[in-house]
Structure 1
């Protein structure tokens, strides 16, 4: 874990590896909260990934799910 001037943890997106600031203890301020997922989309993503994902990857996976429907 890299030291950054932040009170939140810096982690790698599980899908693309980009560094993201995880704000799990302050979810509404986390970068991933900008992606509004349905229950089905959330379930689809959670079946593939266990960890945090960046907003860019969440959007891509949301689109992937919609194309599969």
Structure 2
């Protein structure tokens, strides 16, 4: 019996185009799970971008949103 390891997909950030490994099928291991956004921050980001964003962009947008309050 052979074991097949599924490699996570490398995608590019919709905001800065930086490559990163998407682990949407293992959310708790995904880099984005380290950024804690409020529901309002999630809505703000989702109004600007449709796809996945890297951690740096998520944090930048979080700061941007908090600066508009």
Confirm or deny a common fold (TM above 0.5): yes
Where do 5+ consecutive residues of structure 2 fail to align?
A: 1-5
Where do 5+ consecutive residues of structure 1 fail to align?
A: 1-5
Q: What is the aligned partner in structure 2 of residue 41 from structure 1? A: 41
Distance 2:35 2:67 in 1: 17
Cα RMSD of the aligned pairs, angstroms, is 0.9
CA deviation after TM superposition for structure 1 residue 7, in Å: 0.6
Matches within 5 A, 1:1-69: 7-69=7-69
SS at match of 1:66: helix
CA deviation after TM superposition for structure 1 residue 51, in Å: 0.2
Distance 1:19 1:56 in 2: 12
Normalised by the length of structure 2, the TM-score is: 0.90
Query: Structure 1 stretches (4+) deviating beyond 2 angstroms?
Result: none
Normalised by the length of structure 1, the TM-score is: 0.90
SS at match of 1:20: strand
